Amino acid sequence: MAVDRGRYTTLVEPERARGSAQKRKPPQRRLVVAMKARELGRKGIVVGDRVALVGDVSGRPDTLARVVRVEPRSSMLRRSADDTEDTDGIERPVVANADQLVIVTALADPPPRPRMIDRILVAAFDAEIDTLLCLTKSDLAPPDGLVALYEPLGVPHVVVHKGGSLEELRDHLTGHISVLVGHSGVGKSTLVNALVPAANRAVSQVNAVTGRGRHTSTSAVALELPEGGWIIDTPGVRSFGLAHVSVETVLAAFPDLIEGTVECPKGCTHLDEDCALEAWVAAGNADPARLESLRRLLSSREGTPDDTP
């Protein structure tokens, strides 16, 4: 549920009682703090991982269990440390086993950053995680322009504002393990506190000079929703490196365009004039808006570590 300086907060499900013991009061789930066993070596453990524990798993104060196994992951959201050659595309795991990525972005204060949204979408395609666009602060600006920009990609969206209803968002979250990602100041922690009142996530104001928020959530944490399901709140990001994502991975998210790449030259980036997709789409084989979206996402892989609007 959380990782902090080599200590892992885990939620332990109770084992079912057998025989006559079934009549007793069932044991409760409990939080257990653990450390990584030496035999795991450099294998990373992130929020969302399912693990096996040994040692003291009572959950009593000042006790410590050991993580001895990380179960196979159904998904892994990653970002590169940076997009420069110096980092050689070093991957940083963000969250494991999520089945939905919620991109939280404000419609104003701070203004939307479509290039950042594009990069997070590419990371979701790479992880094979469903996406949801959550547009906050709709009381400050209309959502129409941003919604139209992502309509060709088929990304579902919800629109919310402070004090407004969250029922539609709750419907999308219930029964899922959803990771919330967004840059600082978009209202992500405010959303989390509204969805899980006991969360007490810190919130911040946007700097009037820079138009940016401060990083108030300093580490990822998994929180159980009252309606069922989980949300994983992550620290606000100012960059989302994609050096680990290939052109082929992005293209795979556009099955309607793949056939048109057959005549492309070897090593085609699908961004140059000699790309066969241009003529293929012009001949009416696919929606031009889809090609524009593909190229926008491919271009986002080349963004700087601190994308601006």
Contacts of 265 (CB under 8 A, 6+ apart): 274, 276
DSSP designation for 111: P
pLDDT of residue 24: 58
- The answer to whether residues 121 and 103 touch, using CB atoms and an 8 Å cutoff, is yes
The answer to whether the annotation marks 134 as part of a ligand binding site is no
The answer to whether the annotation marks 36 as part of a ligand binding site is no
Distance CA 192, CA 78 (A): 22
Q: What is the pLDDT of residue 17?
A: 59
Q: What number of CA atoms fall less than 13 Å from residue 145's CA on the CB side?
A: 10
Q: Is position 218 annotated in a ligand binding site?
A: no
The answer to whether the annotation marks 139 as part of a ligand binding site is yes
Question: Binding residue per annotation — 189?
Answer: yes
What do you get for the CA distance between the two ends of the chain, in Å?
A: 33
Q: Mapping DSSP to helix (H, G, I), strand (E, B) and coil, where does residue 304 land?
A: coil
List the pLDDT tens digit at each of the 309 positions of the chain.
999 989 999 999 877 655 545 555 556 889 999 999 999 988 889 999 999 999 999 999 999 999 999 999 999 999 876 544 444 556 788 899 999 999 999 999 999 999 889 889 989 999 999 999 999 999 999 999 999 999 988 999 999 998 899 999 999 999 999 999 998 889 888 899 999 988 766 554 433 333 344 444 467 899 999 999 999 999 877 677 788 888 998 898 898 999 999 999 998 999 988 899 999 999 999 999 999 999 998 988 765 444 444
Domain boundaries along the sequence of the chain: 2-70, 76-233, 247-302
Task: Answer yes or no: is 137 a known binding residue.
Answer: yes
Q: Is 176 annotated to bind ligand?
A: no
Give, in order, the Cα–Cα distances in Å from 154 to each of 5, 28, 150, 206. Answer: 39, 42, 7, 30
Contact 295, 271 (CB under 8 A): yes
- Is 187 annotated to bind a ligand? Reply is yes
Question: Do β-strands 221-224 and 230-233 pair in parallel, antiparallel, or remain unpaired?
Answer: antiparallel
The DSSP line for 31-87 is EEEEEE-GGGTT----TT--EEEEE--S--TT--EEEEEEPPPS-EEEEES-SSGGG
Residue 266 in marked binding region: no
Q: What is the DSSP string of 17-35?
A: P-GGGGGSPPPPPEEEEEE
- Residue 227 DSSP class: T
Known binder of ligand: residue 244? no
CATH T-level topology, domain 76-233: Rossmann fold (3.40.50)
Is 157 annotated among the ligand-binding residues?
no
